[in-house]
């Protein structure tokens, strides 16, 4: 069913994982667009209330709902709070996630199940609750996956598997809603390495502090993509060319990427930089929150041409066409000019009346002749043979 997504200024948005990182950056981005209402969801109630107070003002009113997305009843309470406070919601963003670093053999199965309860089942529950509400009035579901939805990362096997599952679920939900004619847009957001407290919140089984593989991108780029998806139907949006390349290469040359990760995986995901211990390990309970960025050194990339190309495909196509035309003019035009240049006429010397020529004789033999006026010097022996009597 065709439907029109509301402008952000008229929307109420539910954001899970809103107390830090991408979720917090997204809340700020919706606030900057003067969204009507924000329903901020996370386990850290204290940090969440402080954020809600900060973002409330002007046309925007934000409320904090402490909830654990691995608990179905908590998510139902979130939806009810949005309905009671604002009369409903227009966009639901499933962003909450946790991480594990370590080899599969070392990580207890209990931890692996807990990660899936949050990263996968939290998205499933949130999406189904959102779909039940949005199918009546229309709206958007945004699921935050990862470029690891396409390519598993060594030492983050469980996280990669959960994001693969999120992608499959998101694709299946989109098809079912479309087949039912439900006025619901479903978008999968796939960030590359993002500079957030994700690495500090992770439970770590490695021998060093954790990091994301370079290059790292600014979380506000992901927030920009999420806000865009709230107003425009998009199937998927990928942030960061670096992560996209890894996914593409994984399809073309999977064994080569396997080996590259085996050689560089540990070094690219660890650091000697001391991280904030109060943030470490939020697998089972909330830890320190309230920051968009990690404490790791270095500036993240503030731009992503790949993202801009996806948000503005027609403009990008026009720019590429212009570049192609410029290249064609640079290389093809000189060749065309050379091809069209008239050939210089070659003046032929007139043939002398005494110039040696070749005359074709009727019997098929060629005879050398000379011009008119030539007196034959043929000797008698060169004459026609006479018959013998």
Q: What are the catalytic residues?
A: 159
Placement of tokens 């900060």 in the chain: 54
Q: Cα angle at 193 between 191 and 198, to 5 degrees?
A: 95
Cβ contacts of 31 within 8 Å, gap of 6 or more: 38, 55, 60, 62
How far is residue 6's CA from residue 9's CA, in Å, rounded to a whole number? Answer: 8
CB-based contacts of 194, cutoff 8 Å, min separation 6: 21, 22, 212, 216, 217, 218, 219, 221, 222, 239, 240, 300
- What span, in angstroms and rounded, lies between the C-alpha atoms of 122 and 96? 8
What is the C-alpha separation between 4 and 178, in angstroms, rounded? 15
SS3 62: strand
CB contact at 8 A, 185 and 5: yes
CA distance 371 to 354: 5
CA distance 296 to 269: 12
| Residue 85, C-beta contacts closer than 8 angstroms, at least 6 positions apart | 37, 39, 63
- In DSSP notation, 126-185 reads HHHHHHHHHHHH-EEEEEE--GGGTS--TT-HHHHHHHHHHHHHHHHHHHHHHHTT--EE
Tokens 């003046």, located at residue: 347
> Does residue 86 contact residue 139 with C-beta atoms inside 8 Å?
no
Total length of the chain: 389
- 282 and 98 Cβ atoms separated by less than 8 Å: yes
């Amino acid at each position: 069913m065709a439907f029109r997504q509301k402008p952000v200024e008229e929307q109420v948005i539910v954001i899970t994982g809103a107390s830090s990182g991408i979720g917090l950056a997204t809340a700020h981005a919706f606030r900057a667009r003067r969204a009507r209402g924000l329903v901020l969801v996370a386990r850290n109630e204290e940090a969440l209330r402080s954020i809600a107070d900060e973002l409330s003002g002007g046309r925007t009113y934000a409320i904090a709902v402490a909830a654990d997305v691995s608990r179905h009843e908590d998510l139902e309470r979130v939806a009810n709070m949005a309905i009671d406070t604002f009369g409903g919601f227009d966009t639901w963003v499933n962003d909450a996630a946790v991480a594990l670093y370590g080899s599969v053999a070392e990580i207890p199965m209990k931890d692996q199940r807990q990660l899936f309860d949050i990263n996968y089942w939290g998205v499933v529950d949130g999406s189904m609750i959102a779909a039940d509400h949005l199918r009546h009035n229309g709206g958007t579901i945004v699921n935050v996956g990862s470029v690891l939805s396409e390519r598993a990362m060594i030492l983050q096997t469980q996280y990669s598997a959960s994001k693969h599952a999120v992608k499959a679920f998101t694709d299946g939900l989109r098809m079912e809603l479309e087949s039912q004619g439900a006025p619901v847009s479903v978008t999968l957001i796939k960030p590359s390495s993002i500079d957030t407290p994700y690495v500090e919140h992770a439970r770590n089984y490695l021998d060093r502090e954790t990091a994301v593989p370079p290059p790292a991108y600014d979380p506000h780029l992901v927030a920009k993509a999420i806000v865009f998806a709230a107003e425009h139907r998009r199937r998927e949006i990928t942030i960061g060319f670096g992560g996209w390349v890894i996914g593409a290469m994984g399809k073309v040359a999977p064994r080569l990427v396997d080996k590259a990760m085996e050689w560089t995986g540990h070094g690219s995901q660890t650091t000697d930089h001391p991280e904030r211990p109060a943030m470490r390990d939020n697998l089972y309970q909330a830890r320190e929150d309230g920051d968009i960025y990690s404490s790791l050194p270095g500036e993240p990339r503030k731009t992503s041409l790949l993202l801009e190309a996806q948000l503005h495909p027609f403009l990008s196509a026009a720019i590429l066409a212009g570049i192609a035309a410029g290249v064609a003019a640079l290389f093809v035009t000189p060749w065309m000019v050379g091809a069209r240049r008239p050939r210089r006429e070659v003046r032929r010397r007139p043939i002398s009346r005494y110039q040696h020529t070749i005359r074709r004789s009727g019997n098929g033999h060629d005879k050398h002749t000379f011009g008119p006026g030539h007196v034959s010097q043929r000797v008698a022996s060169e004459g026609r043979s006479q018959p013998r009597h």
